[in-house]
């Protein structure tokens, strides 16, 4: 299964699910509801070290974009006191920002235009992984 149409990473975790806290996971809903149910079922089976389930928070699917655009709100990046969240020009961009604002109340939520990154096969989190340590 290719979880997100247009995703050329074979489902890297940063396009599907991310930690929002020690026991909180935010996950990207998928274009096909059956795929979202499958992902949700897998996440519901996860447990922390004490055997407790994680609290799950679903990010909306930007399914009003053309098929083949690997858009994922889960590909956000946390920097200093902010969270940079991909924005795609979708009608659900605002909803995704709101979900993440609730999960990160002590950080500014900043939308960044991610269409160019997504068209090249990535997102903000993907791009940030390539910053050399000497520049940080």
Q: Which helix H or strand E contains 111, and what residues bound it?
A: strand 108-113
How far is 127 from 116, CA to CA, in rounded Å? 11
- Domain assignment present for 31: yes
**What pLDDT score does 70 carry?**
72
Asked if residues 71 and 62 have their Cβ atoms less than 8 Å apart, the reply is yes
* pLDDT at 91 > cutoff 50: yes
Give the global pTM: 0.80
pLDDT above 70 as % of the chain = 71
Question: Which residue is listed with tokens 């489902």?
Answer: 11
- Domain assignment present for 2: no
Domain of residue 129, residue span = 13-135
Question: Number of folded domains in the chain?
Answer: 1
Q: What is the pLDDT of residues 100-134, one digit of tens each?
A: 999 999 999 999 887 656 655 556 555 556 555 66
- Domain assignment present for 7: no
Looking at residue 130, which CATH number applies to its domain? 3.75.10.10
The average pLDDT across 54-68 equals 89
């Amino acid at each position: 299964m290719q979880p997100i149409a247009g995703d050329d990473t074979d489902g890297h975790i940063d396009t599907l699910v991310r930690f929002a806290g020690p026991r909180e996971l935010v996950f990207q809903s998928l274009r096909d509801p059956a795929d979202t149910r499958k992902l949700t079922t897998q996440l519901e089976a996860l447990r922390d070290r004490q055997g407790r389930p994680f609290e799950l928070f679903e990010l909306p699917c930007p399914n009003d974009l053309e098929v083949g655009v690997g858009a994922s709100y889960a590909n956000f990046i946390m920097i200093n006191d902010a969270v940079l969240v991909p924005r795609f020009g979708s009608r659900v961009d605002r909803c995704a920002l709101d979900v993440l604002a609730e999960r990160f109340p002590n950080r500014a939520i900043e939308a960044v235009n991610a269409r160019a990154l997504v068209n090249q096969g990535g997102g903000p989190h993907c791009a940030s992984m390539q910053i050399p340590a000497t520049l940080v």
